[in-house]
């Protein structure tokens, strides 16, 4: 089981490296799609079918958005990295964080032991015990999402609509033209 997970994770790391290091932008986007689909397979093995389905849907949308953004635009290679000193400093910082977090790994629960088993009176246990009786939903994830933590989902919907509103505001053209015309009119008047 964990060997399978390790193999899948190694494939994901290879895909991520290819996505970042390849020179062609389109193949980079397709590699990140491969990483996302592998991630959804990992979620399936980890007992999270809801997340796997959501991950597939979101991954397809991400691919469509990214390809729409880059196709017919600049697919030429942008070679070279940022200036050398900054790159060395940042890579050193990443390495330092990695070395420091090795000590942090010891604090984690061992893999295969859920956090709710280590904490007495964890809310997850309550949800599992009383989810069906209190909400009537057989799927406990849905029960948490829409009932126990419904305000979180409301906030999620708010963030989603705000971000899409922001994207539309950034991308629109019509209103900007009207604004320019209005400026001209006020100048002539």
Site residues for other proteins, 70-99, by CB under 8 A, read: 70, 73-74, 78, 80-82, 86-87, 90-91, 94, 97-98
Q: Are 25 and 48 in contact (CB under 8 A)?
A: no
Conformational region of residue 81, where left means phi above 0, alpha means psi within -120 to 50, and beta covers everything else? beta
121 or 187: whose CB is closer to other proteins? 121
Quote the least distance from Cβ 54 to other proteins, whole Å.
Answer: 5
Site for other proteins (CB under 8 A): how many residues? Answer: 90
Cα–Cα separations (whole angstroms), residue 172 to 123, 167, 168, 178, 181: 45, 9, 6, 12, 16
Q: Are 37 and 59 in contact (CB under 8 A)?
A: yes
75 or 182: whose CB is closer to other proteins? 75
54 or 179: whose CB is closer to other proteins? 54
Can you tell me which residue has the tokens 């629960």?
109
State the Cα–Cα distance between residues 76 and 95, nearest whole angstrom.
31
Q: Quick one: DSSP state of residue 183?
A: H
Among 34, 41, 62, 135, which residue interacts with other proteins (rule: CB under 8 A)? 62
58 or 180: whose CB is closer to other proteins? 58
State the Cα–Cα distance between residues 46 and 40, nearest whole angstrom.
10
Q: Dihedral of the CA atoms 157, 159, 161, 167 (nearest 10)?
A: -150
Q: Binding to other proteins by residue 30, rule CB under 8 A?
A: no
Q: Footprint of other proteins on residues 139-178 (CB under 8 A)?
A: 139-141, 143-145, 149, 152-153, 156, 159-160, 162-164, 166-168, 170-171
Quote the least distance from Cβ 180 to other proteins, whole Å.
Answer: 16
Among 71, 96, 132, 180, which residue interacts with other proteins (rule: CB under 8 A)? 132
């Amino acid at each position: 089981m964990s060997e399978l997970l390790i193999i899948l994770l190694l494939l994901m790391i290879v895909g991520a490296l290819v996505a970042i290091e390849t020179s062609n932008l389109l193949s980079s986007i397709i590699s990140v799609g491969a990483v996302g689909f592998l991630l959804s397979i990992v979620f399936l093995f980890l007992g999270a079918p809801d997340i796997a389905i959501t991950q597939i849907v979101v991954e397809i949308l991400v691919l469509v958005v990214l390809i729409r953004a880059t196709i017919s635009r600049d697919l030429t290679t942008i070679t070279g990295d940022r200036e050398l000193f900054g790159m060395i400093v940042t890579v050193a910082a990443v390495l330092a964080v990695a070395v420091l977090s090795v000590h942090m790994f010891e604090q984690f629960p061992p893999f295969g032991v859920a956090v709710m088993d280590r904490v007495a009176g964890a809310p997850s246990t309550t949800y599992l015990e009383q989810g069906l009786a209190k909400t009537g939903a057989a799927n406990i994830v849905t029960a948490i999402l829409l009932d126990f933590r419904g305000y979180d989902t409301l906030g999620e919907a708010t963030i989603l609509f705000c971000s899409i509103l922001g994207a539309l505001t950034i991308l629109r053209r019509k209103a900007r033209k009207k604004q320019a015309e209005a400026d001209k009119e006020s100048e002539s008047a």
